[in-house]
Amino acid sequence: MTIKLHTGNQIIDKIDEFIKLGGCIQFKVFDVENIDNSYQTHLEIAKKTLIEISSDWEDHIQKVSKELHKDKGQYFKQIHHFDKLENSGIQISNRDFLGPQFDLTNNKLLIKGVQNFYNIYFYYDTDEDEKNAIDFNKISNQFNFRETDGVSGAFCGAFLEPPYAIKIGSSIFEHGKYFLDFCDLLFSDLANIEVYRWSVDSSNYFDAGKEWWGAHFWTIYNPAKNIYIGAIASTTD
């Protein structure tokens, strides 16, 4: 099995844009040749994701320490425990991956108000008006979240609700459209992706998110584009 970082500029540029706008999920995209089996491939993608994220972090620390004339040893060092990763992968449904903010039945996204109703959810393509409010608690209670999922819950929550507001527009429609366009580019068809969830005890990268916001580790296969995506998130305020 041969795994290489995907070099498609459109996807890479979109991921970079998302991070610059304040997004907290980090993505790594891979092309895979001579696939072994589903689980083993996802496991190798999980390992490669941690390795690549660590490499990016080391490059950043090297640059910062040089600019500030400081010993890079004083900065946080990512440590991985691949033994805790090996048998931790669980294939999850698209519903559990996306979480309560995505209505798969109607193929619609729920967005927390961004203008006046900051703790109320609406379908993204409606007006942010109290008459359009959705009983989000009723929907959320249908999901079984783990303690490490924190307040961010699942992918939609982690994407759209970092500790500090993501800068993707001033309306719920703009927030929703950005998310859907991003998913269309990266996942192609949310109904057909294959998702595995991995242990967040596999690296100290996830420690910060365990405080309250959430710690997440997914690998996703997009059969339409034949790419694998590693997605990890962990942050605090």
Write the pLDDT tens digit of every residue in 188-202.
999 999 999 999 999
> Which residues on neighbouring strands pair with residue 217, listed in sequence order?
232
- 24 SS3 class: coil
Tokens matching residue 12 = 């890479």
Cα four-point dihedral sign 111, 183, 192, 153: negative
pLDDT at 78: 76
pLDDT at 62: 66
- Chain centroid to CA 39: 20
Beta-strand relationship, 194-197 and 26-33: unpaired
Q: Which domain holds residue 69?
A: 2-234
Full-model pTM: 0.91
Q: How far apart are CA 40 and CA 185, in angstroms?
A: 25
Q: Determine what percent of the chain is predicted with pLDDT higher than 70.
A: 92
| pLDDT band at 86; cut points 50, 70, 90 | very high
Q: How many domains does the chain have?
A: 1
| pLDDT band at 64; cut points 50, 70, 90 | low
